[in-house]
Amino acid sequence: MSCEETQEQVSLLIDAELEEPHQVALFRHLEGCCECRLFFDSMLRFSKAAKRDLEEIRLVADDILPLHGPLPVSVRAAGDGANSLPMHPSGLTGRRSHRRASEDAVGALPDRRSGWGWKRWTGLLAGGWRMPAPVAIGLALVLLVAGALVGTRISTIAGGGGPMGRDGRVVKPTVVVVCSLPEVQVLGSASRL
Amino acid sequence: MRTDADLAGAFKDGDDRAFAILYDRYKRSLYVFALKMLSEADAANDIVQDVFLRVYEKRRQLDYPERFRSWVFAIARNRCLSHLRQSRKRVPLDEAPDEAITVAASADGIEAEEDLRLIRLALAELKIEYREVLVLREYQDLSYREIAEITETTESAVKSKIFKARRALHETLKPAFAGRR
């Protein structure tokens, strides 16, 4: 086998396109040919360096390429939903971590905003405001207690009864509920009628 | 994970979300390709934006969604060749390509850094027809068939051209590599 043929086969071997029977003859030639070994070594070093070069450029690319590119607004919006990435005010991405880059390399991330998780539910409870679950639950309880208290007093007053004061007059309690979401204040006061 | 073919099909039917995912998936690969073809960071960035704009505009012409990768790289290649024709610019061997990258010292050591520097220069010196096939093969890991589709030639022609490109690269690198064996 000539050096020309050998080097052609080296090229195929690096691309994983050389069939096994040919590989035996190739390596036999390489054992005794310094020039072809040098070519083989050179191409292996090139492949290795190219992989490293690729990784470095991809990291730099994350910094300089716009998140969505010069695309129509509808596509930009779709992109926001597609990977939930924060949009820098300048329209450019910031440096992301290696993990982030590798995730992007294999595909876009799932839409984290599309689920009906606890945040969505607590958001609804709070009338559209986002707030932590404990605050939302506490708020709901306060509203419940305040509602029950008002209902009780109203029924008491409507029934003609009510607590008697020391002077024998009926005390009409007034519960003022000031509801200003997301903060609720229950102001209780009793006025003597 | 949705395949390229799925996404490309949906995109062709008007799904902008699918297009956004494809953009995110391919922008880096296309940037690497354009940078290696042109050796100019700004031009490579412009090419990537231009390619995706064209892809979006020409979505109806995407006859084979399963060949989206070849299609998008073919557009990128045409844009790069067009840019090179306009600029008629070649990078001198003694001038480092404008890749806006600083090679950091790593565990691979100084020799690996030197290899990287030499290879960047040697690649930038190759004839464009050799450079494009080598970049598509070594950097993008595309098959001979895909490279043939992108460069509008046959698989055997691609195989032959990659070999010639490697020989030319070897001739450039040989003095440096032989001296450091």
pLDDT, tens only, A172-183: 554 444 444 444
pLDDT in tens, A20-53: 889 999 999 999 999 999 999 999 999 999 999 9
* Cα separation, B106 vs B92, whole angstroms: 28
Q: What pLDDT does A172 receive? A: 53
Domain extent, residue B76, equals 4-179
Per-residue pLDDT at B124 = 92
First vs last Cα of chain A: how many Å apart? 117
Q: What is the pLDDT of residues A65-116, one digit of tens each?
A: 776 655 666 666 655 544 433 333 333 333 333 333 333 333 333 333 333 3
Tell whether B159 is within 8 A of chain A (Cβ): yes
- Residue B66, domain CATH: 1.10.10.10
Please indicate whether residue B164 or residue A116 has the higher confidence score (pLDDT): B164
Residue A173: enclosing H or E segment and its boundaries? strand A171-180
Q: CA-nearest residue of chain A to B14?
A: A75
Domains in chain B, number: 1
Q: Which pLDDT value is given to residue B115?
A: 84
Which residues of chain A does B20 touch, with a Cβ-Cβ cutoff of 8 Å? 68, 71, 75-76, 78-79, 81-83, 108
> Is the distance from CB of A158 to CB of A185 less than 8 angstroms?
no
Is it true that the peptide bond before A72 is cis, omega within 30 degrees of 0?
no
For the residues B115-143, what does the mean pLDDT come to? 93
**Mean pLDDT within B148-171:** 96
B164 vs B63: which has the higher pLDDT? B164
Residue B100 is predicted with a pLDDT of 41
- The more confident residue out of B22 and A113 is B22
Q: How far apart are CA A148 and CA A165, in angstroms?
A: 23
The alpha carbons of chain A give a radius of gyration, in whole angstroms, of: 37
Angle between helix B41-57 and B68-87 (nearest 10): 130
3-state class (DSSP) for residue B146: helix
Contact flag A11-B41 (C-beta cutoff 8 Å): no
Which percentage of chain A shows pLDDT scores above 70?
A: 44
Whether A154 shows a pLDDT value over 70: the answer reads: no
Q: What is the pLDDT of residue B37?
A: 94
When pLDDT is cut at 50, 70 and 90, the band that residue A137 belongs to is confident
Please, which contacts does A67-72 make with residues 24 or more away whose CB atoms are closer than 8 Å?
A67/A91, A67/A92, A67/A93, A68/B20, A68/B23, A69/B23, A69/B27, A69/B48, A69/B49, A69/B52, A69/B53, A70/B49, A70/B52, A70/B53, A71/B19, A71/B20, A71/B23, A71/B52, A71/B53, A71/B56, A72/B16, A72/B56
Closest residue, chain B, to A5 (C-alpha): B163
Name every chain A residue with its beta carbon within 8 A of the beta carbon of B2. Answer: 107
pLDDT of residue B162 exceeding 90: yes
ipTM greater than 0.90: no
pLDDT, tens digit, 9 for 90 and up, residues B25-67: 999 999 999 999 999 999 999 999 999 999 998 888 888 989 9
CB B63 within 8 A of CB B9: no
Task: Say whether pLDDT at B123 is over 90.
Answer: yes
* Nearest beta carbon to residue A75 from set B16, B101, B112: B16
Tell me the average pLDDT of chain A: 65
Cβ separation B137–A81 shorter than 8 A: no
**DSSP conformation class of B135:** I
